[in-house]
Amino acid sequence: MNALNAPKPVPDVPSLTLPMTGPPTSLRLRQGRRRGACCALPVVVLAPLVFMLAGCASPAPPPLLYQLRGPLQPPATAAALPPPVPVSPASSGAAAALTVQLMLPVTLPELLERDAILVPRGQTGVQPLAGHRWAEPLRDAVPRLLRQDLSDLLAPGQLWAAPMPAGLQVQRQLRVDVLALQANGGLNTGPTSGHPGGSPQVLLQARWTLADPSGRVPVRTGVENLSSPVQGADVDALVAAHRQVLGLLAQQLAQRVRAAPGGP
């Protein structure tokens, strides 16, 4: 073999060494497996704890609902405050089955425009009874009871409320504004509730107006101050006292209607 055909030597090429930016692949795989195990461990450990806490945080029971209902009781079952003081003098003469329209709405204080059952707290405060609510708004329950009780106390067909039947001639319009309806004194609902030494009772103050739609008979108006004892230490007794004092109001209003002068 001549020198022309002899293979040429390959020059030495310097090797290129890249800098390592992390551990070797095998080491990274081992670390990844350990890291994954460490991350998965808290999930496995915390899962039972989450279920235990969810079981402990059960929702509160629904509130108990109370409705103003029950038959009208005679006056002897409820104590009344001093006799009502009329704002205008009573007219002479009596009415024989006047046709009376109960005007709606029966207004209530804004304090009572809620579903909470309120009791006194301290000397001037009120507080809702936790876990106890009215089943229907008092703005619906009060006129419902007044109409029911007045219908029982007056002559059949004497009391009406809107909508009125066609052709009915109304001789008197009865308007009622409830100024106060609240529990007062001695209620056993907490360490700071009620008034020390007071007897438990429900107080009601209402202003009434009896007017002739034709304007030929003077308007009669007055204020009723009534009370009913709370005969018990539970919420049922408190609600029953509310119902009875509204029955007393109906009895007083029925007397006012009977004493009104006759129609023209």
How large is the average pLDDT for residues 152-181? 94
Q: Which of 8-22, 95-109, 110-124, 181-195 has the lowest mean pLDDT?
A: 8-22
pTM: 0.70
pLDDT surpasses 80 at 137: yes
How large is the average pLDDT for residues 63-90? 64
pLDDT confidence tier of residue 196, bands split at 50, 70 and 90:
very low
pLDDT confidence tier of residue 238, bands split at 50, 70 and 90:
very high
pLDDT of res. 72: 82
pLDDT of res. 221: 97
Span 64-258 CATH architecture: 3-Layer(aba) Sandwich (3.40)
pLDDT confidence tier of residue 96, bands split at 50, 70 and 90:
low
Q: How many CA atoms lie within 13 A of 264 on its CB side?
A: 11
Q: How many CA atoms lie within 13 A of 49 on its CB side?
A: 5
Query: What gap in Å lies between CA 89 and CA 86, rounded to an integer?
Result: 7
pLDDT of res. 199: 78
Residue with tokens 């438990």: 200
